[in-house]
Each structure stands twice: as C-alpha cells, then as structure tokens.
Chain A
C-alpha cells in the first residue's frame, strides 16, 4: 500500500506536512527573534562591560594595550580611590560626596516637582475660580521651551538673585517645567466625581479631601513619576555645570566634566578612574530603574504622552 493510493490518508499526510512546515517556520522565526535580541543585548551591554572591565586595570596597561575585556585586579584600589580620595582644586571633594550630592539633587528635584505640581493640578481641576484658566495656560507654556534654550538668561536671573552655588538655585529652575502638573491634571480628571460628592456629604473640606482621598488614590502615579524624575534629576548636566563652581556642590554627573579637564593635560590619563566614575554615576539610577521596573515603564509611557 502506498500513501498516494488512499485519498483519505493522502489528505491527512499533506495536512501533517503542512503543519510540520508551519512549525518549522515558527521555529525559524523564533530563532530569528532571539538572534535580533541577542544582537541588541550585545549592542547595549558591550560598551558598558568594556567600561567596567577597563576600570579595573592599571592605566598604564590601558594606555599601552587599549581598553580591556577582563578583570585587571585593581577594582578595590581604583574604586576606593575614586570614592574616598580627596581631589579637585580645593582638595576636599570625594566621590562619596558627589554621589551624595546627586542623591540630594535627584530627591529634591523629584519631591519638589511632585509636591508643587500636585497642588497646582488640584487647584486647576477641583476649583472654580476666575484665574484658573489663565493659570493653566501659563503653566502650559512652560512645556514649550526646555531649559537649554533659555540657559543664559536663566543663569543671569539666578545670579542676580544671589543663588549661584546653592541648592535652591540648582533645583528650582529645573522644576519650572510643568510636565508633572499635566500628568496629575489628567489623572485627577479621571477620578470619579462621586468621590468628591460623598466626601462633601461627610463634611470634608478641600484639605481633608486632598489628603485623605486624592493623595492615597494617586500613590501608584506618584511612585511612577518619582522614579522618572529622580533619574532625570540625577542625570542633570548642563545646568549644574554652569551653576555650581563650588566643588562641594558637585554632583557625580557634573564631576564627569571635571575629569575631562584633567584628562587633556595628563601624560597617561587616569582612564581607570574616569571609567570608574562613569560606572558609579550610572549604578544608582540603573538600580532604581531595575528594581522599580514596572512603575518606571508606567511612569515613562504615561508622562511622555
């Protein structure tokens, strides 16, 4: 008996080969997808691996043989030096201090932005008052111009107020953009009206309603915004570079700029220390993104809308 002699068998045979073909195609497609992703992972990670590996080598080795992929054995001494040695022109700024300053900037920026924008969004959404619409449009206008395009006049304003080299002068101008206000405004608008009606029947005033109902409802939103804003604040570069000439206020990202100055003059630049500093500058925000991944993705996708 041959396969082709029985029509029913032949049909099931061709169905089977078709299914096998589809399976094979699906498998090949999966192989393709994995290949693309592995290429992507290599593309994103390789530079960072090279940076980390090289930071553990002696600068003389790097200078003569190029960047390294391996372990150079100098991890503890290099990172110890970057973290604890006093450096800079004044001779008293350490890596730990710069990291701490970055934490202050990140926290100050994120918390300041959340508090100020929640209050403003609450006023705009929940109150009927003549100035409301005007206020909304004024705040709206800040979305149009990033700090970079008005950097020089902003510097002059801060200078004329005597706020150079101060945390206030560093953080407040960065908060001036109203992205978070818009985000909370959208969110508050989606909160059901019944909640406010119920709260009013129970005799709650604006303050009680905000603190006891709106803030607890906003918790996930606040977390998401906080993570994005912390990373954005931590990564600020241009404004701190202009604003802070006093080294005790240097953040770690601002410190990167200082490294370059040393780099240009040196015979054998301290590649290892520069890379160690780069690694130290990226680890805290990276950890935050990794640990709070869900809130991070939510925050990013929602706030950028």
Chain B
C-alpha cells in the first residue's frame, strides 16, 4: 500500500468515471441481462417474457446437441492445449539451448501470434479442402480419406490442428521466457551433477517451469473455449450442419440463428460459471507464483 496519497476530493471520481461507465453499460448490464433472460422464455413476435424458472437450464443441459457440443468442447480443449503446449515446450527448450541463430529462430516462431484465428481458419480450411488441399492428399497417402466439412471426426481433427497451431507462439514465448528466467548457476550445477540432458530436463528444468506451465494451461483452456470462435466459424463456413461445434459457438448459434434467447442465455450463464472457476484458479496460482518468484 502506498504511504503517500492524495486526500479525498472530486478528482478520483472523475478519473474513474470513464472506466466505470463503460463497465456498467457494457459489462454489468449485459451480464445481468443474461442471467435474467436465462430464467425467461421470450416471445420474439410480441416481445413478452414469461418466467420459467430453471427450465432453460434443464432443457439446455439435457438436450442431446448440448451434450454432444459439451463433450466435443472438452476433447477439443484437452487436445488443443496438450498438443500446443507440448510442441511449444520442445521448441522453447531447443531455442534456449541452441548456440547459433537463437534470435532468428525466436522471431520466426513467435510472429504467428499476430495472425487472427479466423485467418488461420481460412488457410487451414484450404489446406484441408476436398479439392485443393495438400493435407487431404497427404492423408490419402496413408489411405485416409479425409472429408473435412462432411465427416464429424475429420472436421474435428482439422479444427483441432488449426487451433493448436495458432496457439503455439504464445506458449513458446512464455516457456522461453520461463526458461531464460532460470539462473545460469543452477543450470551449470545441474550439468555437473547429471550428464544426461534428458534426465536433467525432467528432474531440474521441468519442475522449475511448473508455475509457468500451470499458468499456461489456464490461458490455453480459456483460448480453446472462447478465442477459437473464429477458427470454428470459418472452418465450418458458417454452416455447422452435422459438424462439431464448441459451446461458445452453440451459444452464438442458438441465440442469433435459433432466436432462442432464454436457452442461449442459460448456456451463457453456465459458461460464465466455468470461466469464473477458471479465473479463481488462475489468481490462486499467480498469488503462489509471486511468493517464490
């Protein structure tokens, strides 16, 4: 806490006013609205709302499409996080250890961060395209007839590939900065005690990276849940049909296409609770990280 402070006056209220106004209008109000309409059924023609208690929640959770989307989202999140974190960690370890060309590798590997998810989705959907996609041809070499956009599993795999690819740079940057934060004395001591670089990595370096990894895991889960919207939307070409969708995409579909405000809001609220829990975990981890940093 600061010792020196300005005393009470009108100034702090004026300074806070813009932020508070935006938060109130564009955050608190819509969030409250989501909760309210999740307990109502709205009639799109007459604009009337009927209170239905938890019916929307029950309907949402028990519907088979919701179950399917929830299962897909869980799998999608796990696969995207694990694949992306694994590749990024391997790359960061090598980028930290390599003697020549470190800066070039680092720059080349991280700038993909700047690419928007829908742009990645567009390029990905062309690479997996039925007629022109080289990755489809590659899969065909192994006798795998990939039908992205038509086959549920194939589409899921393509979406996961693109989403994981897009997230590699962020994970790479964090892992590399974590590795570079390990004191050299520690690395040298470890290299005297243990000859095998593989064992050294798992017994010394990896445990030291654990806080970074936990933190990144949360970031990746949030990414896979929400920020992949652009990837999903573009790869499905806005026409989900029978293809896999994430829960956030389903909120959008039911709300804007299906005009089911109550159901969409109930799904929103369920997601809000999920994010809330994730954020609480994240803050707990950061608190802990600060202590031993």
Q: Which residues of A contact B (CB under 8 A)?
A: 29-30, 32-34, 36-37, 40-41, 43-45, 47-48, 50-51, 54, 62-63, 66-67, 115-117, 119-120, 122-132, 135, 138-139, 141-146, 148-158, 161, 172-173, 175-178, 181, 189, 193, 196-197, 200, 206-207, 231, 234-235, 237-238, 241-242, 253, 256-257, 259-261, 263-264, 271, 274-275, 278, 281-282, 285-286, 288-290, 293, 297, 300-301, 304-305
Residues A150 and B268 in contact in the complex (CB < 8 Å), given A47-B124, A66-B137 = yes
Within 8 A of A (CB), among B1-30: 2-9, 11-13, 15-16, 18-20, 22-23, 25-30
Q: Which residue of A lies closest to B115 (CB)?
A: A282
Q: Which residue of B lies closest to A173 (CB)?
A: B26
- State the main secondary structure of chain B at its contact with A: helix
| Contact B268 A149, beta carbon cutoff 8 Å | yes
| Contact A257 B91, beta carbon cutoff 8 Å | no
Listed stretches B67-75, B150-158, B182-190, B228-236; interface member = B228-236
Kindly state the separation between the CA atoms of A131 and B14 in the bound complex, as whole angstroms. Answer: 12
Q: How far is the CB of A209 from chain B (nearest CB, A)?
A: 8
Listed stretches B48-56, B57-65, B94-102, B202-210; interface member = B94-102
Q: Which residue of A lies closest to B96 (CB)?
A: A33
| Contact B87 A43, beta carbon cutoff 8 Å | yes
B13, B248, B275: the one contacting A144 at CB < 8 Å is B275
| Contact B98 A34, beta carbon cutoff 8 Å | yes
Inside 8 A of A29's CB, which chain B residues have their CB? Answer: 97, 197
Q: How far is the CB of A138 from chain B (nearest CB, A)?
A: 6
- 29 example contacts (A-B, Cβ-Cβ < 8 A) are as follows A40-B168, A47-B123, A50-B134, A66-B134, A67-B127, A116-B19, A119-B18, A126-B6, A127-B12, A130-B8, A131-B12, A135-B16, A142-B23, A145-B272, A146-B222, A148-B229, A149-B226, A151-B268, A152-B268, A157-B26, A172-B26, A176-B23, A231-B113, A253-B119, A253-B230, A257-B118, A260-B122, A260-B238, A285-B115
Q: How far is the CB of A249 from chain B (nearest CB, A)?
A: 17
Inside 8 A of B160's CB, which chain A residues have their CB? Answer: none
Number of A-B residue pairs having CB atoms within 8 Å of each other in the complex: 305
**Does residue B43 face the partner (Cβ distance < 8 Å to A)?**
no
Q: Which residue of B lies closest to A128 (CB)?
A: B5
Q: Which residue of B lies closest to A69 (CB)?
A: B134
Inside 8 A of B110's CB, which chain A residues have their CB? Answer: 289, 293, 297
Inside 8 A of B170's CB, which chain A residues have their CB? Answer: 300
Most chain A Cβ neighbours within 10 Å, of B19, B219, B286: B19
| Contact B114 A44, beta carbon cutoff 8 Å | no
Inside 8 A of B238's CB, which chain A residues have their CB? Answer: 257, 260-261
**Does residue B116 face the partner (Cβ distance < 8 Å to A)?**
yes
Across the A-B interface, the 3 shortest Cβ-Cβ residue pairs: A235-B116, A127-B12, A153-B33
| Contact A301 B122, beta carbon cutoff 8 Å | no
Kindly state the separation between the CA atoms of A33 and B92 in the bound complex, as whole angstroms. Answer: 10
Inside 8 A of B284's CB, which chain A residues have their CB? Answer: none
| Contact A176 B132, beta carbon cutoff 8 Å | no
**Does residue B288 face the partner (Cβ distance < 8 Å to A)?**
no
| Chain B residues touching A, range | 35 or more
Q: How far is the CB of A165 from chain B (nearest CB, A)?
A: 16
**Does residue B109 face the partner (Cβ distance < 8 Å to A)?**
yes
B6, B11, B91, B126: the one contacting A36 at CB < 8 Å is B91
Residues A149 and B109 in contact in the complex (CB < 8 Å), given A36-B94, A143-B279, A237-B230 = no
Residues A237 and B111 in contact in the complex (CB < 8 Å), given A149-B226, A242-B256, A297-B173 = no
| Contact A40 B33, beta carbon cutoff 8 Å | no
Q: Which residue of A lies closest to B20 (CB)?
A: A135
Kindly state the separation between the CA atoms of A206 and B15 in the bound complex, as whole angstroms. Answer: 11
Residues A36 and B90 in contact in the complex (CB < 8 Å), given A62-B132, A300-B173 = yes
| Contact A120 B132, beta carbon cutoff 8 Å | no
| Contact A259 B115, beta carbon cutoff 8 Å | no
Kindly state the separation between the CA atoms of A144 and B31 in the bound complex, as whole angstroms. Answer: 11
Residues A238 and B174 in contact in the complex (CB < 8 Å), given A40-B87, A47-B165 = no
Q: Which residue of A lies closest to B19 (CB)?
A: A120
| Contact A150 B31, beta carbon cutoff 8 Å | yes
**Does residue B117 face the partner (Cβ distance < 8 Å to A)?**
yes
| Contact B16 A157, beta carbon cutoff 8 Å | no
Kindly state the separation between the CA atoms of A16 and B43 in the bound complex, as whole angstroms. Answer: 86
A129, A178, A290: the one contacting B12 at CB < 8 Å is A129
Residues A119 and B16 in contact in the complex (CB < 8 Å), given A30-B98, A263-B237 = yes
Q: Which residue of A lies closest to B18 (CB)?
A: A116
Kindly state the separation between the CA atoms of A246 and B175 in the bound complex, as whole angstroms. Answer: 42
Inside 8 A of A47's CB, which chain B residues have their CB? Answer: 123-124, 127, 165
Q: Which residue of A lies closest to B228 (CB)?
A: A148
| Contact A50 B127, beta carbon cutoff 8 Å | yes
**Does residue B271 face the partner (Cβ distance < 8 Å to A)?**
yes
**Does residue B163 face the partner (Cβ distance < 8 Å to A)?**
no
Inside 8 A of A131's CB, which chain B residues have their CB? Answer: 12-13, 16
